[in-house]
Amino acid sequence: MTDTLVNDLAALEWDNRYTRDLPADPVDALDPEEPILPRQVTGASFTRTRPTPVAAPRLVLASGELAGRLGLDVDALATEPNVSALAGNTVLPGMDPFAMNYGGHQFGNWAGQLGDGRAIALGEIVDGDGDHHMLQLKGAGPTPYSRRADGRAVLRSSIREFLCSEAMFHLGVPTTRALSLVRTGDDVVRDMFYDGNAAPEPGAIVCRVAPSFVRLGTFELPTSRGDTDLLRTVTEAAIRHSYPHLVADDGAVTETAIAAFVTEVVQRTARLMADWMRVGFVHGVMNTDNLSILGVTIDYGPYGFLDDVDPDWTPNTTDFGQRRYRYANQPRVAGWNLARFASALVPLMDGTDELQAALDGYFPAYSDAFLATQTAKLGVGVRPEDTDDGRHDPLVTDLWELLPKVETDFTRTFRLLGSADLIDTDGVDRTWDALATDVFYRPEQLDDEITSAWRSWLERLAERVRAEGREPAERQAAGDAVNPIYLLRNWLSQEAIDAATAGDEEPLRRLFDVVRDPFTERAGLEHYAGRRPDWARNAPGCSTLSCSS
């Protein structure tokens, strides 16, 4: 955090290296008299464009931690000049608004040009540590990449994006951040499930923040068009901006640097997937344009956190048939996406050996990261065994065989297992009683075979804990530090969304406060630590979402 905080966005140090270093679309969309129409943009990485003003912007939420990191006084964000800028009504001095041009594979199929259809970057600021942060408005109006859409966002999806961006940060999961949530005063017409039931809803805009919003699909588009010059420019800029340590002393970006760039993206993505699995997060739409070169979570659309442990669960109704992006398949999809990314860089290399070597490191890195996070959640050390398809710990592997056999709450299970006192002989009995009482949604599903399997597994966990000799209090503290008690479950978000839509924003503010401290149990917050209620089992916005959610 900067020692001296400023009161307005215009006073920040703006250094728009993306628009300075990369080729612009010669046809910009800054003239307010010119219509913004969808079109194919070639030979360019971005289009300068203007946000579309809204009727009555009002700040609803702001991240104090992020504002301080950027050098802003969070209380000053509510003042008119800042709200106007965060709503897209005013472009302040230093800003250089633009929309990025990229392509991607969607649900495994090449989709061609995609681009920022409802996101407009305001520019980049430099914080007190010299780090760059790009500020981007989501829902700020159409761009040349909007295809047939209006470029707007509804309140419910904006609340979900704001809350989850900050919740993931406080869970320790690499992510883009959210600076502000602004209600626009305008209605937006949406058909949530694409079933012919379009209706007006309140609109909103989120200001997203990240060092870079460059995606894997950024490199796919120029390669698909045979534009090697643009591919080289994009790649060199990405390395100079995000991985400057790979640049040679003479300033050159060599083939070795490109291969190292792929290796770092692969390794970061592997760790990100382990983090998603650690907290039970399901992205819902893991297209190549929705994975970042920084290995951070990007683009919160139809996401969700596991309530019950269902490896095949996806919140995205568009994916219900294929379930490509289901919870258990996310690591595999990430590997597939990374292969598309590496393939896009082949025109810049003399051969493919270095790229293949980088890709070959993905699954071993993921296996190691997954093991480390899972054993930490259980409060034990790592004891991997090498097998034909990777490295596994039988204690972890066997637990994941057990978890889906009955409807079992993911978050509450690990919170209990990671901190249970298993030192004395009664520890297994107490832990089993707690599981049966607090974790299983339908304990009537427990038969003798499943009960016996659970108790046998608990005995093995207890033996491991005793062998390692960690004191119960120490183990509980360590377990509680990695197993959240409060998670941004979809049903909690939906409660806050329903209240805010009806005019009561206090539940939203309270939920925001809760998810910013997910590991510390606090009196009076029992509701936020509860299992999914029956009303949310199949409710829209809870178990079912779409890309318009």
**27 phi, psi to nearest 5 deg:** -100, 100
Dist CA 430 CA 313 (whole Å):
30
Query: What are the C-alpha distances in Å from 167 to residues 76, 154, 162, 423, 489?
Result: 23, 20, 9, 34, 11
Name the token pair of 407.
């409807």
Which 3-state string (H, E, C) describes 484-503?
CCCCCCHHHHHHHHHHHHCC
Q: In the structure encoding, which two tokens stand for residue 205, read together?
A: 């805009």
Contact 458, 426 (CB under 8 A): no
Please identify which of the residues 96, 116, 289, 393 carries the catalytic annotation. Answer: 289
For the stretch 151-188, what's the b/e string if a residue is b when 16 or more beta carbons lie within 10 angstroms of its beta carbon?
bbbbbbbbbbbbbbbbbbbbbbbbbbbbbbbbbbebeb
Let me know if 421 is a catalytic residue.
no
Please name the residue ranges forming H helices in 225-329. 228-242, 255-279
Confirm if 456 and 475 have CB atoms less than 8 A apart: no
- Report the C-alpha gap between 258 and 443 in whole angstroms: 53
Helix pair angle (330-344, 353-360), 10° resolution: 170
Burial (0-12, 13-18, 19+ Cβ within 10 Å), 226: exposed
Tokens at 524, concatenated: 């009076």
What is the Cα 517 distance to its own chain's centre?
Answer: 18
Contacts for 309 with CB less than 8 Å, ≥ 6 apart: 280, 403, 404, 408, 409, 410, 413
Q: Check the CA dihedral 272-70-482-490 and report its sign.
A: negative
Left, alpha or beta for 541 (phi > 0: left; psi -120 to 50: alpha)? left
Residue 385, strand partner residues: 392
| SS3 label, residue 429 | helix
Q: Which positions are annotated as active-site residues?
A: 289
